[in-house]
Structure formats: C-alpha cells, structure tokens
C-alpha cells in the first residue's frame, strides 16, 4: 500500500481518471467555500488542489512521499501528523483511507487536530456500485485504483461515530460504468443525472462531510440564598432568675 497513492495519482491522468477528477473537483470547490476558520489541510494528491476555493487564510497540502519544496506543501506521515491538537478547522481526505495501511489511525489523527465543530471531507470508492464490481476483475494486483481496499459507506459512518463525528452531508457521483475509452464515457453522461434520482446509492464515488462534536459537561448549581442567616443570640434571662431566685416557686400554705 506504500505506492498506492502514487499509482492513483498517475491513474488520474487517464480518461477514466479525468472523468472522476472533474466531478471530485466540482464537489470540493462547492463545499470548501462554505467552511470557515483559520487553518485547512489536504492529505495526499498534491497535483489536485481541492482547497483552491476555500476562504480559509492558511491552506496546507500534506504529502507522504516526495519533497516539500513549495510553499504550502508539507511532507509527513498521515498517521503521525506534526500538527498541534485542536488547531485545524478543515481537513480534506481524497481517497486516503482506502489506500492506507491504517485508516483508523489516520481518522484518529484527524479527530485530534480538528478544533471542536471542525469539519472533515472524505471521498472514497463505493464497493456497492459498478466500480466496485469492476474491482475483482482487475488484470493485475497493482492495477490502480482497483488495488485499493474500498470501504463501504455504513462502515465509514461507524468509524466516524466512534470518534464522535456527526455526518452532516453527503453525495455520490460517477454513475457511469468504469470504461477506459473516452468516447464511451461521453455516451454514458446521461447516467449522472439519472443516477441521483433512480439509484442514488450506486454511485462509483461517495463524499462524506462530517463535523467533530465535543460533548461538554455543564454543572447545574443550586440557587443559594445570598442573604446571610441572622447571628445566633442567647435567650433572654427571666427577671426573677436574674435576681437570684432559682428553683420552682414555693407552694402556698393554707
């Protein structure tokens, strides 16, 4: 799985990869524009700037391989990000989980660095689609993107729920069959509009937008009476006792 992301990046230059990339770029362009904050991160696929329409001032793309020789590019391991906890407002994961050896740890790192109410955007291949059916028929074990471990949507939602993420929105695309020839892909363009209406769960690629929720504890204090209690005083001494008369009164003799 080490070279899977590099193979995926090369596959995006094919006609089928360009068909996928155009729809993913359109989704991220629309979604990140409505997320506000101070710091935004994109993990992987450096040749695709999925943060280009974001209005967040600091935008950084992180890659696991290669050299970080450009401004805004950082080289790091996705499982141990050199980012302070509770510092990122937006994290974009384009097909990172399915081409990683430890997707759970990557999600834990994302949950760690996100601020409360921060958002994560995830794209992945849907195994319950025509693209998922194509995966067992791959000609070679390293053929991208079919060499990835596709994660179904219910399982991904369970992982997010364990990390206290709340799924806020989602979408699917790429309803056309994964044909490698460009002329045939253009003939199946009608399936994009028909897919959202007739088979919305059968898109080749899904998008998930989740929000980090932090459940806090609020102490409910009783409403104390601010008025101070009156100071204790000794009981008044009877006048007869004050004169030295002690004991019960004498019985009157007849």
CATH, residue 54: 3.40.50.150
Is 139 domain-assigned?
yes
Kindly give the parts of the chain with pLDDT less than 50: none
Residue 219 domain-assigned (yes or no): no
DSSP state, residue 98:
G
| d(C-alpha 38, C-alpha 55), whole Å | 9
State the total domains in the chain.
1
pLDDT digits (tens, 9 = 90+) for 178-218: 777 666 566 666 566 666 666 677 888 999 999 999 876 56
**Residue 218 domain-assigned?**
no
Q: How far apart are CA 20 and CA 146, in angstroms?
A: 14
Give residue 58's pLDDT: 94
Model confidence, pTM: 0.77
* Radius of gyration over every alpha carbon of the chain, rounded to an integer in angstroms: 33
Count CB atoms within 10 A of the CB of residue 251: 6
Alpha helices by DSSP H, listed for the chain, are 4-11, 15-32, 103-113, 130-134, 153-162, 182-187, 190-198, 239-242
CA-CA distance, 178 to 174, in Å (whole number)? 8
* Residue 40 exposed, middle or buried by CB count within 10 Å (0-12, 13-18, 19+): buried
CA distance 93 to 164: 18
- 241 within domain boundaries: no
Show the domain range for 151: 4-212
Instruction: Look at the block and give the residue holding tokens 């999600």.
Output: 107
- Please check whether residue 193 lies inside any domain of the structure: yes
Retrieve residue 233's tokens.
Answer: 């005083």
Q: Does some domain include residue 76?
A: yes
State residue 73's pLDDT score. Answer: 82
CB 233 within 8 A of CB 184: no
**pLDDT score at 134:** 75
In a domain? residue 223: no
Longest dimension (CA), the chain: 137
Residue 223 contacts by C-beta under 8 Å, 6 or more apart in sequence?
none
Q: Which of 168, 94, 185, 183 is nearest to 131 (CA)?
A: 185
Termini Cα distance of the chain:
120
User: Is residue 59 in a domain?
Assistant: yes
Cα–Cα distance between 185 and 178 in angstroms, integer? 8
């Amino acid at each position: 799985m080490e070279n899977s992301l590099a193979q995926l990046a090369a596959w995006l230059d094919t006609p089928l990869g360009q068909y996928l990339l155009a729809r993913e770029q359109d989704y991220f362009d629309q979604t990140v524009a409505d997320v506000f904050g101070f710091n935004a991160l994109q993990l992987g696929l450096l040749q695709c700037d999925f943060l280009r329409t974001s209005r967040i001032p600091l935008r950084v793309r992180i890659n696991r391989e290669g050299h970080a020789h450009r401004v805004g590019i950082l080289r790091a391991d996705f499982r141990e990000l050199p980012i302070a906890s509770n510092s990122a407002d937006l994290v974009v994961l384009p097909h990172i989980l399915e081409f990683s050896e430890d997707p759970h740890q990557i999600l834990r790192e994302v949950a760690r660095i996100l601020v409360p109410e921060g958002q994560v955007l995830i794209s992945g291949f849907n195994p319950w689609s025509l693209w998922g059916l194509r995966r067992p028929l791959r000609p070679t074990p390293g053929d991208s993107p079919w060499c990835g471990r596709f994660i179904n949507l219910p399982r991904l939602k369970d992982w997010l729920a364990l990390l206290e993420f709340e799924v806020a929105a989602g979408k699917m695309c790429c309803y056309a069959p994964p044909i490698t020839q460009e002329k045939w892909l253009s003939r199946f363009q009608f399936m994009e509009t028909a897919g959202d209406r007739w088979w919305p769960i059968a898109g080749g690629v899904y998008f998930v937008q989740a929000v980090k929720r932090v459940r806090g504890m609020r102490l409910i204090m009783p409403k104390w009476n601010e008025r101070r209690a009156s100071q204790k005083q000794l009981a008044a001494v009877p006048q007869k006792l004050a004169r030295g008369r002690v004991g019960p009164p004498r019985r009157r003799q007849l």
